Amino acid sequence: MEYIYASLLLHAAKKEISEENIKNVLSAAGITVDEVRLKAVAAALKEVNIDEILKTATAMPVAAVAAPAGQQTQQAAEKKEEKKEEEKKGPSEEEIGGGLSSLFGG
């Protein structure tokens, strides 16, 4: 992940995203650079329009975060309704009968 962060930092600084520049950023952060990963990331990012990906990625989290929050709110409301229904119902006839039989030894 740190290789991607370094690449994004270079992009934000309007610097070329190259093996050497990524390596310099990672080294400055005190990260030991894996040459294989470095080459793979640099090669993969040559084919990518980072600005376009950032535009798309910026819009996605809003929808992704809103859905789970809405689901959690709905689940909480459903649990409250279930509790209210349980409170209104009280003990069942079987529970009452079992309680009475224990009183009379039967």
Architecture of domain 2-78: Orthogonal Bundle (1.10)
* pLDDT beyond 80 at 10: yes
* pLDDT beyond 90 at 54: no
Which has the higher per-residue pLDDT, 68 or 23? Answer: 23
Domain definitions of the chain by residue range = 2-78
**Please, which pLDDT band fits residue 33 given cuts at 50, 70 and 90?**
very high
DSSP string of 23-83?
A: HHHHHHTTPPP-HHHHHHHHHHHHT--HHHHHHHHHHHHHHHHHHHHHHHHHHHHHHHHHH
**Please, which pLDDT band fits residue 25 given cuts at 50, 70 and 90?**
very high
